[in-house]
Amino acid sequence: MKYAIKVPVDDGWLYVTETDRDGNLIAKTFDTREEAEAFEAGAFNFDSLSQVVEYQEGLVDKLTEEQIEELRVKKQAIKEELYDKVKMEMFKASSELEGIDMDEKQEKALDGLTKLGQVMEESRKQYEEENDAWWDGLTEKEREDAFYAVCKRIHQAELMDHGTYRYALYDVFGFDMNMYTRGMDCGYMAIHNAIGDGEDYQKMRRVTRFEVIDDSGRAYIKYFEVGEGIQYALQDDDRTLKVFIDKARWREDWL
């Protein structure tokens, strides 16, 4: 069972939508009513006529072009409204520092945003516990198969195809957009970024010319001699980048 949010449009109702990886409008769905209600609370005014309903597959496919355009307009309005609430959070923080009181409506909006964050965090923790229980319930062979399947696809997406985070999720793993946030929660986005940085670092270790460029142009150029290599090091609490070019030190990274 999936849940969606309906909003009033003229004399009818339309689902809140999102764009899939092919650029098509689809209904934004949620696994639980609580998740849908949490999103609704953060995206709409408290006096909004929006409703959380059980999602009926295929309804969005029957929309006319006019209805689709109405959805696009509504979606943009939702984005702007949510953006305003985020700005209000920042304004509240600065107002407290300056001793400025906020009115009741602003306080309610910020309270709703806070509650949304709390509900989403509770949902994340619940999923984490359920996922750990699922993993612990697998046999050794099932864990090995799951590990192999995941690592194989990460290797394909990251090192063979050099794809984006979305490419890995949608094209290699075959997930839908619901996994975008899950991928962030489990740390895959951090892994993806670290792999990209690591690949760049590996390439930099194989250079044969080093240049320092400032506003005046090339301030320093060093062509490596035979046997020379390069090593980078951060020092002074990561405030200083040192570069070593010699015939010995760089080999330490390759041992």
Boundary residue ending a domain (73, 93, 127): 127
Residue 134 maps to a domain? no
∠ CA(232), CA(238), CA(241), 5° rounding?
35
Residues 68 and 95 grouped into a single domain: yes
∠ CA(224), CA(230), CA(231), 5° rounding?
165
Residues 192 and 237 grouped into a single domain: no
Residue 242 maps to a domain? yes
Q: What is 132-199 written as a DSSP string?
A: HHHHHTS-HHHHHHHHHHHHHHHHIIIIIS---HHIIIIIIS---TTHHHHHHHTTHHHHHHHHHHHH
- What's the pLDDT tens digit per position in 106-125? 666 666 667 767 777 788 88
- What's the pLDDT tens digit per position in 53-103? 887 665 444 455 665 566 666 666 665 666 566 666 665 666 565 555 556
Enter the tokens of residue 110. 């910020």
Whether pTM > 0.75 for this model: the answer is no
Residues 55 and 163 grouped into a single domain: no
Q: What is the three-class DSSP state of 224?
A: coil
Residues 166 and 218 grouped into a single domain: no
Residues 34 and 113 grouped into a single domain: yes
Residues 177 and 231 grouped into a single domain: no
What domain range is 92 assigned to? 3-127
- Amino acid in the structure at residue 50: S
How many domains does the structure of the chain reveal? 3
Q: So what's the pLDDT on residue 79? A: 59
Write down the residue that tokens 């520092």 correspond to: 97
Residue 132 maps to a domain? no
Residues 145 and 179 grouped into a single domain: yes
Residues 31 and 67 grouped into a single domain: yes
Boundary residue ending a domain (98, 127, 156): 127
Residue 135 maps to a domain? no
Q: What is the three-class DSSP state of 93?
A: helix
User: How large is the average pLDDT for residues 127-149?
Assistant: 92
Residue 48 maps to a domain? yes
Residues 111 and 222 grouped into a single domain: no
Residue 120 maps to a domain? yes
Q: So what's the pLDDT on residue 255? A: 46
Residues 190 and 228 grouped into a single domain: no
Residues 88 and 115 grouped into a single domain: yes
Residue 22 maps to a domain? yes
- What's the pLDDT tens digit per position in 198-251? 667 777 778 889 999 988 888 999 998 888 888 888 888 888 988 888 887 666
Residues 168 and 242 grouped into a single domain: no
Q: What is the average pLDDT score of the chain? A: 77
Residue 133 maps to a domain? no
Pair 69, 158: CB distance under 8 Å: no
